[in-house]
Chains A and B, each alone.
Chain A
């Protein structure tokens, strides 16, 4: 058993921090934010290059930096931050010492070495292969090696998390009940992460050996199938992790109790069972893969993982509504929402994250993932439009929201320029939502992704995209600037706080409670017409109606193109 000197109790939240875990959380979160900074700046350059009137970068720089942009934000930022989330949800929420801190250090060091190695390889200019690095296009060996080292480090982090769960259970640090729902969500993310990393190892290790000449041939179709078992699943880690963050923020801000533990946990279980099938989303127009395989996998067996996301989309705001109503905001459909703390970046960020992830990311993803509808969207700008809504508007915004709460608790410092915090989620959320929408709009007009010049100025044969496509790209560029302002403000405040924020010491108490007291779970007498959370139900029905309309409109678009079979 660790000694008490290794623990600190936060005077504001009552949370108990194991010091080695605390250090590792800080390091992983800070490393993540460094890569968010790099990747975010590159993202702005992408937006300004694809805006035809600006067309900022030269072609070779554009492709090189697009490779770096994808890897730095989609992999390095997110997974560093997720390791911090894993340590928080295990060590802190279970009041338990972190298992094998030395291994956790090793994992962190490997991740840093790997991330730096891959970045160096990319910035040397000979590995502009995009994040997907489809064979037989080859990158420098260091590109693959860096990713492998990073993956090994992340895998160690996953096992440290699992080890901490085992210790907490054995030592009954959290009583003899079940683990908290948020930890359960993090466990879901961890299980998906292990599947992801295993897939990555299966494909990247042979590809690395191929790049140095030990393997003569990698089948490009097999590469696509297994690479996407990593590439898409890694984004499913994000889904599980950011939904765990949604639940955490509902508890922190409102003292909310889940409507029912059973339904929310079942929904996470559906993720574990079905979410990884989504590798198929990328193979819907590939030769040599049968329709039966595509239909089963692209629909996560039978849209069971989509159903799970729809459940979380109801239960998270539903638990917020229930908590607000039991605090007295019980009038009409939406008093609870009007009186919500919209100036608190932790709440506003998560609420916008729910809306952007659901309405923009979720609906577009399912529609694009229909076997046949994918024909009119595959590899167009619609695809990055979709995943900027899920990964930037959904995951990144939720992580930012949590960070505004976590940094003062973890670093014991006041957020600098705190008056600006209330604007951050709106700048970043609206910018990202606009970026996603306009990219999707350009995609439906046929504009390709990963393309330097849609005016085809130097091409022998040309194609003229409609003027609307140029307008969409210009609007996407403007939205990227807005999102960059929001992202820049976040990084300025967080890095500034970590370095220069006023220290609070270990005793000083915050004037306002940092975790809201828990509300009672009794919903009797709340709501309207016998429905305890009518506002959330109305929003959910609006969502479902939008979903159905958008889904069938795209079948209509599909029916208008050349018949093919």
Chain B
């Protein structure tokens, strides 16, 4: 029994049950298929994370955001006067997370590609694009770069999905796609 020493002292010389051999072979095959799917998707799939990231500081990243806001703001929204920024297709776009907002509001064109840089000014945040459901961990001191191509129009929300203190559940940003 499993709670006593093996009844065969030389248990490693016992033959293996056939069912077990079959199952190990199936499981190993499935393991290899699953393992190969990830590199396969890097080559043929359209949803992959870049390996592009930089160390940054809140000051340096904040300056880039402000420069973009100054150049490409098209209007302001809400009582908080959030700038809505419509950067040109193909350009570098900056989004920052801080307690407790995503800044600024971004406006993209459908089918165009943007290089989106995201970082945090303080604690860790979670970039959760809804209702697409694309989720990224945003870590202070690091700048994530993803190249995105919005393929649907509409109003999208950026919900924070990493706990960041008592205002966490009020941290929502917007991305519009025309």
Contact = CB atoms under 8 A, between A and B. Distances in A.
A78 to B, nearest CB: 21
A559 B42 CA distance: 12
B34 to A, nearest CB: 5
A303 B105 CA distance: 41
A452 B128 CA distance: 16
A63 B166 contact: yes
A379 B24 contact: no
A103 interface: no
Interface residues of A, number: 110
B172 A459 contact: yes
Interface in A446-495: 446, 448-454, 456, 458-463, 465-466
Given A137-B124, A563-B46, A372 B38 contact: yes
Contacts of B3: 93, 180-182, 247-248, 251-252, 515
Nearest to B39: A295
Contacts of A59: 166, 169
Interface stretch (B15-23, B60-68, B87-95): B15-23
B105 to A, nearest CB: 8
B47 A261 contact: no
Contacts of B152: 562
B19 A536 contact: yes
Contacts of A518: 1, 4, 7
Given A261-B6, A451-B161, A136 B123 contact: yes
B103 to A, nearest CB: 11
A551 to B, nearest CB: 7
A563 B47 contact: yes
Given A263-B24, A288-B53, A532-B19, A137 B165 contact: yes
A451 B41 contact: no
B74 interface: no
Contacts of A68: none
Contacts of B12: 261-262
Interface string B2-38: 1111111101101111111011101110111011011
Given A262-B11, A314-B20, A136 B151 contact: no
Contact of B5 (A174, A224, A255, A536): A174
Contact of B30 (A251, A536, A544): A544
A446 B141 CA distance: 26
Nearest to B131: A446
A548 interface: yes
B172 A315 contact: no
B132 A562 contact: yes
A39 interface: no
Interface stretch (A143-151, A200-208, A304-312, A497-505): A304-312
B137 A461 contact: no
B20 A380 contact: no
Contacts of B160: 448
B19 A531 contact: yes
Interface string A517-537: 010010100000001110011
A302 B8 CA distance: 32
A372 B14 contact: no
Contact of A380 (B45, B53, B128): B128
A466 B79 contact: no
A213 interface: no
Contacts of A286: 137, 139, 142
B19 A533 contact: yes
A262 B159 contact: no
Interface string A533-549: 10011001000100110
A524 B20 CA distance: 15
A348 B137 CA distance: 40
A260 interface: yes
A380 B133 contact: yes
A565 interface: yes
B137 A453 contact: no
B162 A564 contact: no
A555 B113 CA distance: 23
A459 B128 CA distance: 16
B98 to A, nearest CB: 13
B78 A564 contact: no
B149 A562 contact: yes
B128 A370 contact: no
Contacts of B6: 177-178, 180-181, 261
Interface string B65-83: 0000000000000111010
Given A290-B51, A291-B51, A555-B41, 12 more contacts: A221-B139, A262-B14, A285-B49, A286-B137, A287-B142, A315-B20, A318-B19, A319-B2, A371-B49, A379-B128, A564-B146, A565-B47
11 contacts: A137-B164, A220-B139, A260-B14, A285-B136, A291-B49, A307-B28, A379-B126, A449-B161, A451-B161, A537-B19, A537-B23
The 3 residue pairs across chains A and B that have the minimum distance between CB atoms: A448-B161, A303-B31, A463-B157
